[in-house]
């Protein structure tokens, strides 16, 4: 799947993933009205509204970008009907040949992690038959529980030709509280650090997690890049530069562009010399573009057109930054 | 809700939470057969089987224990039908007046975390109406993204009179890879450590997370205990002892007893002198008790009876350990 992602990035010339993180306040009134007319102001109505909203956005952007990233929390908040909209969205995006990155950030102990891996990337056995539960192409995972969490995901990825993005340095303001902690290296304290390459000293935790990702990545290579990637926020470009060099073969999923404050010029550090190696997420900036002054002329009636224009602008912004380096 | 949990622990004299983590290999053949007869060997069939299995266990144990802890991964692996069984299980347990701890281990950035908090503990707004999505009483959360993740959960808990258990030191073998890292304290590196109480030096990360939990806990107190609790694995009793003293007012949810290797004698360190402050989870050891030699005489036909016997034995084991200290 990492090979498909790289090919599609080359073909579209857009290292962009559109975050399908629908909040009801983004969904135009005419769509909400229609959905509530059919299902009432219920969880089912909300599910229908976000599904119709997603569908129209996808119809307007699927030829421009390689991938989408639905954030499961935005669906899970509406309970079962919300998760049905999540599943419908995944299936529809795959019909449109988009690579689907499930932003699920799951993390648990071995056997439990296996259940998440099976449910989101693999097949679960029921009697003599087996079924895909949600069937994303990639998933994001949380490393706080250590390799016990990640290994079952890697196993399923190998079997199913899928991939992961492991949280290394997240885009949010408080990400440093744990991730930036200076930790002692080269001790017996854990196996995260590869024994060979590290001198005794102090380094931020995210670098050690990055090294572990690089090591796992080397064991799970696609053609040019590994199918074990990393999440590093656009809001921390200097750290991105260091992590880029620590994980040369990892695809970096970069959230935080646009609404969270990351700019095109900040992004260059996340890319390799080949112009590959990073895929930048924008959610609100694209899916709710029609609510920005810049795209207001599209109106709520053509919110899909506004999203398309925002993708084209983002593509130009990133290309200009890459050309200028 | 923490007050209700403490009251129920006093009344049942059982600081025990039953982990409702159904795997199909635990579900007796007659239940699977019946479910597949009705729905086929499908995800719906699997959902029905685990729901019927849970129901029979709950019917046999609800008067003995204060709480249950469904692990959402075990349901999520079966996609939507699995999550419908999760929801049914929560609703049924609440009917039986059990406190429900949703073991969801979610963790994300601010606005996304808010969606999880709303979906699992609070109400989501749809037009002029609002709805509970899953409606657990407590949820487990992952601290890797820092306070941005935890704060929206705390806000919803305050509004809804609910609670959290924050992962501090998990029970799995690889938990030390990140959680045991020796980190520098007393520096500007982050706000996890309270500035006052800590001298400059090195301490394991889990201690600093424990201190943060204690600080949040002090701001969110129930009658005797805080509604911001912690997860600390039974498999690390020495660390449990230290964390107990760092977080005197936090309820500690203790996984890892039984099947994962934790013993009754290991548990005493997690309790306060008042005999309160900890609630010990057992999943497989109770829900699949009939598969153990010790309870084999119950047979698959009376798997609920085996679970009841296993709860009584666990209660005696913990009480003996507490009395012996």
Q: Is the pLDDT of residue B172 over 80?
A: yes
| Strands B201-204, B182-185: pairing kind | antiparallel
- d(CA B181, CA A14) in angstroms, rounded, equals 39
| DSSP-derived secondary structure for A53-71 | HHHHHHHHHTTT-SEE--B
CA atoms within a 13 Å half-sphere pointing along the CA-CB vector of A93: 31
Q: In the prediction, which pLDDT does A200 show?
A: 53
Q: How many CB atoms lie within 10 A of CB A37?
A: 10
Both tokens assigned to A307: 């999203």
Q: Give B 271-310 residues with CB within 8 A of chain A.
A: none
**Taking 80 as the threshold, does the pLDDT of residue B219 lie above it?**
yes
Across the interface, whether the CB atoms of B42 and A131 are under 8 A apart is answered yes
Contact B319, B13 (CB under 8 A): yes
Closest-approach residue (CA) in chain A for B70: A112
User: What is this structure's pTM?
Assistant: 0.95
Across chain A, which has 325 residues, the per-10-residue mean pLDDT values are: 97 98 98 98 98 98 98 98 98 98 96 97 98 98 96 98 98 95 69 44 94 97 98 96 97 89 86 96 97 98 98 96 91
Q: Which whole number is the average pLDDT over B151-160?
A: 98
Q: What is the distance between the alpha carbons of residues A34 and A16, in angstroms, rounded to a whole number?
A: 31
Is the separation of the CB atoms in B204 and B181 below 8 Å? yes
Residue B75's Cβ-count burial label (10 Å; 0-12, 13-18, 19+) is buried
CB atoms within 10 A of CB A291: 15
Burial class from Cβ neighbours inside 10 Å (0-12, 13-18, 19+) for residue B134 reads buried
Spell out which residues of chain B touch residue A115, defining contact as CB-CB under 8 Å: 23, 71, 73-74, 76-77
What is the rounded distance in angstroms from the CA atom of residue B321 to the CA atom of residue B195? 37
CA distance B291 to chain A (A): 18
Residue in chain A closest to B49 (alpha carbons) equals A126
The token duo for B14 is: 């059982």
In sequence order, the β-bridge partners of residue A106 are A141
The distance from CA A246 to its chain's CA centroid, rounded to whole angstroms, is 20
Is the Cβ pair A105, B110 closer than 8 Å? no
pLDDT at position A195 is 43
Please indicate whether residue B155 or residue B258 has the higher confidence score (pLDDT). B155
Of A87, A113, A180, the CB nearest to B190: A180
Work out the burial of residue A93: count CB atoms within 10 Å of its CB; fewer than 13 is exposed, 13-18 middle, 19 or more buried. buried
Lowest mean pLDDT among A102-106, B178-182, B194-198: B194-198
Q: Known catalytic residue: B155?
A: no
Chain A positions in Cβ-Cβ contact with residue B172 (cut-off 8 Å): 109-110, 145-146, 148-149
Which tens digits make up the pLDDT trace of B112-153? Answer: 999 999 999 999 999 999 999 999 999 999 999 999 999 999
Q: CA dihedral defined by A188, A194, A198, A201, rounded to 10 degrees? A: -30
Q: What's the pLDDT band for B90 if we cut at 50, 70, 90?
A: very high
The pLDDT assigned to B118 comes to: 98
Please report the pLDDT score of residue B186 as a whole number.
Answer: 63
In this predicted structure, what is the pLDDT of residue B185?
Answer: 82
Q: Name the pairing type of β-strands A16-18 and A123-126.
A: unpaired
CA distance A192 to A173: 25
Which SS3 state, helix, strand or coil, does residue A239 take? helix
What is the 3-class SS of A252-306, one letter each residue?
EEECCEHHHCECHHHHHHHCCCCCCCEEEEECHHHHCHHHCHHHHHHCHHHHHHH
How long a stretch of residues is chain B? 325
Specify which residues A67 forms β-bridges with.
A17, A99
* ipTM confidence score: 0.94
- Hey, are the CB atoms on A191 and B173 less than 8 Å from each other? no
A6: phi then psi, degrees, rounded to nearest 5: -65, -45
Backbone φ and ψ of A60, nearest 5°: -90, -15
* Chain B residues closer than 8 Å to A143 by CB: 144, 178
Mean pLDDT within B225-242: 96
Mutant choice from B33, B39, B43, B109 vs A, greatest count of A C-beta within 10 A: B109
Give the other-Cβ count within 10 Å of A178's Cβ.
27
The residue in chain B having the minimum alpha-carbon distance to the alpha carbon of residue A150 is B174
CB contacts under 8 A, B 192-211 vs A, are 192, 202, 204-205, 208-209
Task: Check the CA dihedral A311-A315-A316-A320 and report its sign.
Answer: positive
- What mean pLDDT is reported for chain B? 94
Q: Which residues of chain B are within 8 Å of residue A131 when distances are taken between CB atoms? A: 42-43, 78-79
Q: Which of A67, A217, A231 is nearest to A136 (CA)?
A: A67
Does A76 sit within 8 Å of B109, measured CB to CB?
A: no
Give the E-state strand segments of chain A in sequence order.
16-18, 67-68, 99-106, 123-126, 129-132, 138-141, 163-169, 182-185, 201-204, 228-232, 252-254, 278-282
Give tens-digit pLDDT for B278-294.
999 999 999 999 999 99
- Check B94, B96, B105, B241 and give the catalytic one: B105
Whose CA is closest to A266, among A248, A286, A244, A283? A244
| Per-residue model confidence (pLDDT) at position B190 | 44
Binary contact (A183, B205; C-beta < 8 A): yes
Touching check for B115 and chain A: CB below 8 Å?
yes
Burial class (CB in 10 A: 0-12, 13-18, 19+), A173: middle
Read off the pLDDT of residues B7-64 as tens digits, 9 standing for 90 and up. 999 999 999 999 999 999 999 999 999 999 999 999 999 999 999 999 999 999 999 9
Q: Retrieve residue B323's tokens.
A: 């009395």
The SS3 call for residue B193 is coil
């Amino acid at each position: 799947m990492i090979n498909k992602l790289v090919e599609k990035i080359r073909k579209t010339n857009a290292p962009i993933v559109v975050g399908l993180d629908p909040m009801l306040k983004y969904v135009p009134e005419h769509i909400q009205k229609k959905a509530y007319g059919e299902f009432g102001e219920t969880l089912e109505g909300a599910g229908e509204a976000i599904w119709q909203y997603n569908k129209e956005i996808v119809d307007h952007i699927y030829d421009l970008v390689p991938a989408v990233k639905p954030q499961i929390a935005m669906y899970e908040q509406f309970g079962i009907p919300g998760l049905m909209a999540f599943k419908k969205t995944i299936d529809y995006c795959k019909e449109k040949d988009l690579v689907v990155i499930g932003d699920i950030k799951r993390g648990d102990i071995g056997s439990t992690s296996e259940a998440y891996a099976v449910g989101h990337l693999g097949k679960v056995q029921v009697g003599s038959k087996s079924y895909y539960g949600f069937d994303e192409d990639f998933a994001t995972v949380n490393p706080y529980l250590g390799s016990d969490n990640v290994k079952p995901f890697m196993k399923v990825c190998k079997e199913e030709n899928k991939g992961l993005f492991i949280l290394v340095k997240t885009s949010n303001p408080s990400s440093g509280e744990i991730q930036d902690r200076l930790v002692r290296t080269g001790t017996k304290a854990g196996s995260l650090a590869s024994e060979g390459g590290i001198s005794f000293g102090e380094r931020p935790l995210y670098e050690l997690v990055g090294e572990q990702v690089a090591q796992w990545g080397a064991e799970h290579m696609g053609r040019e890049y590994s199918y074990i990637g990393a999440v590093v926020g656009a809001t921390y470009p200097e750290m991105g530069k260091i992590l880029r060099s620590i994980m040369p073969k990892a695809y970096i999923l970069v959230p935080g562009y646009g609404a969270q404050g990351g700019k095109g010029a900040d992004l260059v550090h996340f890319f390799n010399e080949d112009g590959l190696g990073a895929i930048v997420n924008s959610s609100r900036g694209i899916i709710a573009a029609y609510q920005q002054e810049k795209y207001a002329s599209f109106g709520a009636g053509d919110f899909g057109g506004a999203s398309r224009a925002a993708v084209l602008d983002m593509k130009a912004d990133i290309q200009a930054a890459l050309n200028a380096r």
